[in-house]
Amino acid sequence: MNRFLTVTASTKRAPTITGGKRGAAAAKITSLTCTPLDPLETELRQRLALNTPHELLQSFTKETDIREGDILVVSSEEYPIRWVGEWSWRGSSFRHLVLEDLKR
């Protein structure tokens, strides 16, 4: 599986709410590797009940400090993370990420 982790990315995380306001997302993880971003299968999209008019993508990573609401940054493109799941393969633990591709 490590051979498929060919994309270099980073993450951003919004700070906690202070005084009723939330600041801009700041860098959390500066360098991680993940699989290329692929379209999410229709079956998984329906099972997770992620109804969005935007395209959903998926990726896998070994990084464990990723949560829903973080932003994955790949080649200066930002993808909000909509869902994070645990995935095991041959004794190794990975994170399955579902990302939203915002068309602007």
What CATH number is attached to the domain comprising 78? Answer: 2.40.10.270
CA 34, 37, 43, 49: dihedral to nearest 10 degrees? 80
Q: Domain of 80?
A: 2-101
Phi, psi angle pair for 20, to nearest 5°: 80, 5
Q: Which amino acid is at 77?
A: E
Read off the pLDDT of residues 35-74 as tens digits, 9 standing for 90 and up: 999 988 766 666 666 665 678 899 999 998 999 999 999 9
Pairwise pLDDT comparison (38 vs 17), residue with the higher score: 38
Domain count for the chain: 1
**DSSP 8-state secondary structure symbol assigned to residue 90:** T
The pLDDT of residue 98 is above 80: yes
